[in-house]
Structures are given as C-alpha cells and as structure tokens.
Amino acid sequence: MADQRPRALVLAPMRGEGKDILSSLCDIVYEPWIEQHPVKLYKAEDLAAKIAEVAATVLVCESDNVNGPVMEQPLKVIGCTRGDPNNVDVEAATKAGIPVLRAPGRNADGVAEICVALLFAVARGVVVADKECRAGDIYRDGTIPYKRFRSWELAGKTVGLVGYGAVARALEWRLKGLGMNVIAYDPYVAEATYSLDDLIAESDIISMHAPVLDSTRGMIGADQFAAMKPGTLYINAARAALHDTDAMVAAVQSGHLGGAGLDHFDHEWLDPKSDLAALQNVVLTPHIGGATYDTEANHSLLIAKGIQAILAGEKPDNCVNPEVLA
C-alpha cells in the first residue's frame, strides 16, 4: 500500500511556483490568515485543535502562536514564512524533533521599495502637496507652491544604513542608481565599516535596518538626533523600537531634523491625536513595506522547497534547527 500523502495546514498566503510545489507534495487545507474576515490568527491551544481536526502533519504559518500544545501534534515540519520565525517556539520544536523552516529575505525588495517611496515623499513634500491640490490651497497665504516646496535634490547626498542585512543591501543598489552615496554601520558585518557615531555625522539621510535586540532597542535617541546634520532626513521601515519616538518628534518640531518617513509605530497603531501624527513633514505608512504579492511568492517558494527537501530526507539551508534532521 502506497504511503498516504501528507496533509498540510496552510495559514499563510501562498502563490506561484511555491504553492504549486506544495500542492504536488501534500493535500492542502488552505486558510490564509490575511484572507479571513475578520483576520484570524490562532492561539496555541486553538491551533493544536485545528491541526488535530484536519489531521495535518505539515504546518505553514506566518504569525500564529506556535508553541505549547502545538508541539504535541505529529508534525513532520513547521514552515514559518517570516524571515525570523519569532512566532514559533523553536526550542520546544527542537525538543519535539520538529524541523522549523524560515523564509530569509522574502520581503527585502518590497521593504527597500517603500524606503525609497518614503524618502521621496519626505524630501519633496509629496503628501502635503497632494493635500493642498485636493483642498484648493495651492496658492494659500498668497504664496506660490514653487517657493514653498523648494528642496535639495537627492542625487549626491549620503545615506547612512544602520544595519546591513538583506533589506539594506536591496536598498543600497537602488540608492546608488539614483546617484546617492551609501555608507553602513553594522557591527556584525565586515563590509559595514562605519561606526554609528561617524555614520550619523556624515549622513544626509539615515535609514534604519537593524533587528530589535537589547543592544539596539532605542539606539537612536535624543543624543543621536542632536548629533545629526541640520536638515537630516530619517527613514525607518524596520521597527519603531529602534528609536525614541518622543526624541524624534522633538527633533522634527525644533527644525533640526528635516523630516521623517516611518512604516512602523509602537504597538502597530498610531494615535491620530499624537504629536507625531500632527507633523506635516513626517510621512507615515502602516507597516506595509512587505505587503507585496512578490513577498508571498518568495516565501512560498522558500518554504515549499524546504518542505520538499525534508520530506525527501534532506537538510534545507533555511532550517533553523537542522540538528533534528541528523
């Protein structure tokens, strides 16, 4: 009797070649969280019950709580479509003998693109100009927009990248293509040769790409903002925890910081009555840097190929606990 095909519970969006590969390997129960109304993310107890209900031996997830009772299920593999599978208790999975896959670099191009979009929007006052056009305020206060929206061009300016991982590298070639100079600080990467202090002193634009660690939380505070050149533009499409928001707001309000572009806020939400929301030279987007169909296609292929390798008795490079495959 032929071996029964594995059944995969897929709670992350998948598309393209990766979805086709997984479909060729497994019977799929496809319930991506982002397509549910309202959005559905499982707690561990509910997820364990769902896995048991559909008799899944493969789990593909993105943001569900994968810990505790989930590890008691007969899973052959957990595929997390994030670059960092921080929603998965990897230690517990390892103890249970369950390999965990991740999707490194899946959204690097998407996040790099929104950094460029935020940079242009801040530097050229795009959002304010759009509002004035729609409100009929183009010639407000007897002034002309050609005067109010004068700015320095980006070509020839220096961008300092704080962190030099996949997103920073994807951003680097885009910026160089615009004629900008790029420098980087990252104590874990040899090619990033600048110290943080030197980078801050030399940069016209600073873009954040570091992970949130004890050593990086709040790394850009009042002292760092004060040390920036007058008029520096600050871009953060990584995590708000990397900077002191109050200090950043104060730096913008004082005129020392030329503006900011942010794709993330504390607790994933911004109080519309906050001082930050009131700043006209700060452009805000709600954590959508990686919200591209390409990101979904990328993580689908990475996870599907990893599952394919594990089911074939191989060790994929994107397994975070390869010791369970020994």
Reported as a single tens digit per residue, the pLDDT across 141-160 is 889 999 999 999 999 999 99
Q: Which of 37, 191, 267, 268 is the catalytic position?
A: 268
DSSP secondary structure letter of residue 325:
G
CATH superfamily of 7-106+292-325: NAD(P)-binding Rossmann-like Domain (3.40.50.720)
DSSP secondary structure letter of residue 188:
T
Q: What is the pLDDT of residue 295?
A: 98
Active site residue 287: yes
Q: What is the pLDDT of residue 136?
A: 94
Active site residue 202: no
Active site residue 17: no
Q: Which residues of 193-204 are buried (b: 16+ CB within 10 A; e: fewer)?
A: ebebeebbeebb
DSSP string, 246-296: HHHHHHHHTTSEEEEEES--GGG---TTSTTTT-TTEEE--S-TT-SHHHH
317-318-324 Cα angle (round to 5):
85
Q: Which of 106, 209, 239, 243 is the catalytic position?
A: 239
Domain spans of the chain, in order of start: 7-106+292-325, 108-284
pTM: 0.93
Q: What is the pLDDT of residue 1?
A: 36
pLDDT (tens digit per residue) in 215-231? 999 999 999 999 999 99
Q: What is the pLDDT of residue 267?
A: 87
CATH superfamily of 108-284: NAD(P)-binding Rossmann-like Domain (3.40.50.720)
Q: What is the pLDDT of residue 2?
A: 47
pLDDT (tens digit per residue) in 94-107? 999 999 999 999 99
Residue type, 57: T
Q: What residues form DSSP beta bridges with 80? A: 61
**8 Å CB contact between 165 and 209:** yes
**8 Å CB contact between 139 and 163:** no
Average pLDDT over residues 266-289: 95
